C-alpha cells in the first residue's frame, strides 16, 4: 500500500513529545512491512544543517490562504528503503526558534501555519506522481486534510484517497477564532455544529473527527475514555457517534532507538542478562547531575513535558512527603514555568536527594532511563505514553497511574503475580502516589523480587511489527468505507 503520513513533528527531525517518536516509527514499520510510506512535515530551523543529504525537489507550492497566496518549496530525504520524508520549506512560518510557542506563548499565527501545512499535504496527495492509497493524518495540525481532500473532490478530483486520523491527545484541538475559518477556503457549509465549528470557533481536530474515514487513538483504554464526558474535552458526543470507526491501537517502541544494549548515549551498555552496565549508568548519572554517588540508594526518574496532563502537582506533593526517606529523584522536563519553578525549588531544598534539569535534552533522557531503578509517571490522563514503555526496556520499574495507555502497558502485582512489571495506583492524589513510592521502596529491599520485576519489565515487548498490522487493518477498513454522504 502507498501511505502518505502527515505530522507537525517527526523524529529524528523535530520533536516536542511522543507524536514525533510515533510517526517516525510508524513510517519505518510500514516500509519494513513491505509498504511504501511518505511523510510530510515542516522544514523547521536547523533541520537542513543536520541532514545535509536532503534534496531539493523540483516542486513549488503557490496556494490560497484566505485573502492571500503563500509560496513554499519542497525538500525530500529517503531515510530507508520504502520511506521518504518530504519537508515543506516556508521560512516565514517554520524557520523559528521553536515549533509551536516561545516563552509559554503560542505563536499568534499558528492557524495560518498549520492550515497552510494541511493545504500542502492535500496538494501533494493530489498531484504527486506517486499516488497514495490512503492519507494518514495526526493530531489537530493536519486534521483539516480530510475536509480539504473532499473539497478537491468537489473541485473535480474524482476520487481522493480515504483518510485515517490518529488522535494522540484530545486535549489539543487547534481551536481558533471564527475568522480563522476563512484561511481554510472551505465552503461555509462546513462551519456548522455538524462540521468544524465548536462554540463559534474553528476546531481543526473536530473537522477531522467528522470527516476522516477512520479514527484511531493510541491505546484501547484511551479509545474508550474519550467517549466519556470526563475525558471527552467536549467532543465525547461526536466520538460516541463515530465509535464504530474509532480504534485504540497501542503505540509500539522503536527499539532501534530505545535499547540499552546498543544505546550510544549510555556510559555502558547492558541487557536483561548482563545487568552490570546498569549500575555503571546509575553512578555516571549521579555524577552528571550532581547527586551523591551510591549504588544502593534507590533512584527515581521522570522525563516529561511539564503540563497539567502529566500529574505534576501530584508528583510535587508526593515527593514533598517522601523526601525524608533515603531516595534520590531526577527530573528532566520543561513546560509551564510554575511547574519548572516547583521542581527547581525542590532541588534547592533537597540538594542531596533531588536534581532537576529544566530543559530539553535527548541524550540525558536516555541516560535517566538507564540509571533509574524506578520511573514515575503519575498522569491525570495519558493517551498512550511512551516513557513507561522505554522504562520497561531499560529496567526502570514504572510507577504509573492506571489511566489510558499507562493502564494498558504496565502489569501490577495485584493483576498478575508472575508477570508483574510495574506498580500502579488509581486515585488521583499525592497520597496515593506517595503510597506507590513506598511500595517501590519496599520492593527495593527485596532483591529477588526486584530482579523478577526487572526481568519481566525488560522482556516486555511493544513491537511495531505487530502494531503496524493493526494500522493496516484500519486502513483497509477506511478503503472499504468511503462514507456515502458528504457535507459539501
Position 385 contacts ligand GLC (CB under 6 A): yes
Parallel, antiparallel or unpaired: strands 214-217 and 246-248: parallel
Position 19 contacts ligand GLC (CB under 6 A): yes
Which grid cell sits at 263? 544505546
Q: How many residues does the chain have?
A: 488
Cβ at position 314, least distance to ligand ADP in Å: 16
* Cross-strand pairs, 42: 88
266 binds, among ligand GLC, ligand ADP, none (CB under 5 to 8 A by kind): none
Measured distance CA(184)–CA(66) in Å, rounded:
7
Q: Which of residues 395-424 bind ligand GLC (CB under 6 A)?
A: 405
- The answer to whether 209 and 165 have CB atoms below 8 angstroms apart is yes
Measured distance CA(99)–CA(93) in Å, rounded:
10
Query: Contact region for ligand GLC (CB under 6 A) — 24-32, 376-384, 442-450, 452-460?
Result: 376-384
Which grid cell sits at 254? 522503536
Direct distance between the N- and C-terminal alpha carbons of the chain, in angstroms, rounded to an integer: 28
- The answer to whether 155 and 6 have CB atoms below 8 angstroms apart is no
Position 333 contacts ligand ADP (CB under 6 A): yes
Q: Which of residues 228-257 bind ligand ADP (CB under 6 A)?
A: none
Residues 6 or more apart whose Cβ sits within 8 Å of residue 86: 38, 39, 40, 41, 57, 74, 75, 76, 124
Which residue from 173, 387, 391, 421 is in contact with ligand ADP, where contact means CB under 6 A? 387
Residues 6 or more apart whose Cβ sits within 8 Å of residue 451: none
Query: Contact region for ligand ADP (CB under 6 A) — 159-167, 299-307, 315-323, 394-402?
Result: 299-307
Cβ at position 378, least distance to ligand ADP in Å: 13
Residue at shortest CB range from ligand GLC: 18
Measured distance CA(190)–CA(149) in Å, rounded:
13
82 binds, among ligand ADP, ligand GLC, none (CB under 5 to 8 A by kind): none
Which residue from 1, 2, 17, 288 is in contact with ligand ADP, where contact means CB under 6 A? 17
Position 167 contacts ligand GLC (CB under 6 A): no
Query: Contact region for ligand ADP (CB under 6 A) — 35-43, 90-98, 153-161, 331-339?
Result: 331-339
Which grid cell sits at 480? 472499504
136 binds, among ligand GLC, ligand ADP, none (CB under 5 to 8 A by kind): none
Query: Contact region for ligand GLC (CB under 6 A) — 90-98, 105-113, 378-386, 462-470?
Result: 378-386
Which grid cell sits at 303? 522525563
Q: Choose between 147 and 410: whose C-beta lies nearer to ligand ADP.
A: 410
Residues 6 or more apart whose Cβ sits within 8 Å of residue 361: 332
HSE-CB at 45 with a 13 A cutoff on CA atoms is: 8
Three-class DSSP category at 35: coil
218 binds, among ligand ADP, ligand GLC, none (CB under 5 to 8 A by kind): ligand GLC
Which residue from 3, 5, 10, 22 is in contact with ligand GLC, where contact means CB under 6 A? 22
HSE-CB at 192 with a 13 A cutoff on CA atoms is: 7
Q: Lay out the site mask for ligand ADP across 144-183 (x = CB under 6 A, - = otherwise).
A: ----------------------------------------
Which residue from 70, 314, 386, 399 is in contact with ligand ADP, where contact means CB under 6 A? 386
Measured distance CA(463)–CA(467) in Å, rounded:
6
* Cross-strand pairs, 166: 138, 216
Cβ at position 365, least distance to ligand ADP in Å: 4
Position 362 contacts ligand ADP (CB under 6 A): yes
Query: Contact region for ligand GLC (CB under 6 A) — 51-59, 112-120, 144-152, 382-390?
Result: 382-390
Q: Lay out the site mask for ligand GLC across 200-229 (x = CB under 6 A, - = otherwise).
A: ------------------x-----------
Query: Contact region for ligand ADP (CB under 6 A) — 200-208, 298-306, 313-321, 431-439?
Result: 298-306
Which residue from 141, 216, 384, 409 is in contact with ligand GLC, where contact means CB under 6 A? 384
Q: Measured between alpha carbons, how far is residue 332 from residues 248, 359, 388, 448 in Å? A: 29, 7, 15, 30
Position 422 contacts ligand ADP (CB under 6 A): no
Position 5 contacts ligand ADP (CB under 6 A): no
Q: Secondary structure of the chain: what % helix, strand, coil (to 5)?
A: 40, 20, 35
Provide the binding-site residues for ligand ADP, judged by CB under 6 A: 17-19, 21, 303-305, 332-334, 360-362, 365, 384-387
Amino acid at each position: 500500500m502507498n501511505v502518505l503520513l502527515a505530522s507537525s513533528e517527526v523524529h529524528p527531525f523535530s520533536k516536542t513529545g511522543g507524536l514525533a517518536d510515533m510517526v517516525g516509527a510508524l513510517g519505518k514499520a510500514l516500509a519494513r512491512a513491505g509498504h511504501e510510506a511518505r511523510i510530510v512535515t515542516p522544514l523547521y530551523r536547523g533541520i537542513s544543517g543536520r541532514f545535509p543529504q536532503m534534496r531539493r525537489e523540483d516542486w513549488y507550492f503557490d496556494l490560497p490562504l484566505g485573502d492571500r497566496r503563500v509560496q513554499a518549496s519542497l525538500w525530500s530525504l529517503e531515510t530507508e528503503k520504502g520511506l521518504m520524508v518530504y519537508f515543506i520549506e516556508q521560512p516565514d512560518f517554520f524557520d523559528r526558534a521553536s515549533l509551536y510557542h516561545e516563552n509559554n506563548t503560542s505563536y499568534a499565527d499558528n492557524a495560518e501555519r498549520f492550515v497552510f501545512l494541511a493545504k500542502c499535504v492535500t496538494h501533494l496527495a493530489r498531484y504527486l506522481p506517486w499516488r497514495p492509497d490512503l492519507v494518514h493524518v495526526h493530531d489537530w495540525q493536519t486534521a483539516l486534510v480530510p475536509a480539504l481532500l473532499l473539497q478537491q473532490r468537489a473541485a473535480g478530483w474524482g476520487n481522493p484517497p480515504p483518510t485515517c486520523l490518529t488522535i494522540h491527545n484530545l486535549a489539543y484541538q487547534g481551536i481558533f477564532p471564527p475568522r480563522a475559518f476563512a484561511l481554510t477556503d472551505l465552503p461555509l457549509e462546513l462551519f456548522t455544529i455538524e462540521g468544524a465549528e465548536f462554540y463559534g470557533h474553528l476546531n481543526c481536530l473536530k473537522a477531522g473527527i467528522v470527516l476522516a474515514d477512520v479514527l484511531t487513538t493510541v491505546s484501547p483504554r484511551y479509545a474508550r475514555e474519550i467517549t466519556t464526558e470526563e475525558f471527552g474535552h467536549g467532543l465525547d458526543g461526536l466520538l460516541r457517534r463515530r465509535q464504530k470507526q474509532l480504534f485504540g491501537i497501542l503505540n509500539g517502541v522503536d527499539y532501534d532507538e530505545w535499547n540499552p544494549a546498543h544505546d550510544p548515549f549510555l556510559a555502558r551498555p547492558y541487557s536483561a542478562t548482563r545487568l552490570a552496565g546498569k549500575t555503571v549508568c546509575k553512578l555516571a548519572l549521579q555524577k552528571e547531575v550532581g547527586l551523591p554517588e551510591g549504588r544502593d540508594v534507590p533512584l527515581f526518574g521522570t522525563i516529561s513535558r511539564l503540563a497539567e496532563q502529566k500529574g505534576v502537582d501530584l508528583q510535587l506533593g508526593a515527593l514533598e512527603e517522601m523526601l525524608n526517606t533515603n531516595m534520590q529523584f531526577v527530573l528532566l522536563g520543561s513546560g509551564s514555568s510554575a511547574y519548572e519553578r516547583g521542581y527547581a525549588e525542590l532541588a534547592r531544598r533537597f540538594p542531596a536527594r533531588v536534581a532537576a534539569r529544566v530543559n530539553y535534552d535527548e541524550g540525558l533522557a536516555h541516560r535517566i532511563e538507564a540509571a533509574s531503578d524506578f520511573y514515575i509517571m503519575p498522569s491525570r490522563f495519558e493517551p498512550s505514553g511512551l516513557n513507561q514503555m522505554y522504562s520497561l526496556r531499560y529496567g526502570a520499574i514504572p510507577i504509573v497511574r492506571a489511566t489510558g495507555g499507562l493502564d494498558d502497558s504496565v502489569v501490577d502485582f495485584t493483576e498478575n503475580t508472575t508477570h508483574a512489571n510495574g506498580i500502579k495506583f488509581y486515585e488521583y492524589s499525592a497520597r496515593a502516589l506517595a503510597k506507590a513510592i513506598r511500595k517501590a521502596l519496599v520492593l527495593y529491599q527485596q532483591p529477588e523480587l526486584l530482579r523478577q520485576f526487572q526481568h519481566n519489565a525488560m522482556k516486555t515487548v511493544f513491537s511495531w511489527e505487530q502494531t503496524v498490522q493493526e494500522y493496516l487493518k484500519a486502513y483497509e477498513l477506511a478503503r472499504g468505507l468511503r462514507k456515502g454522504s458528504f457535507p459539501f
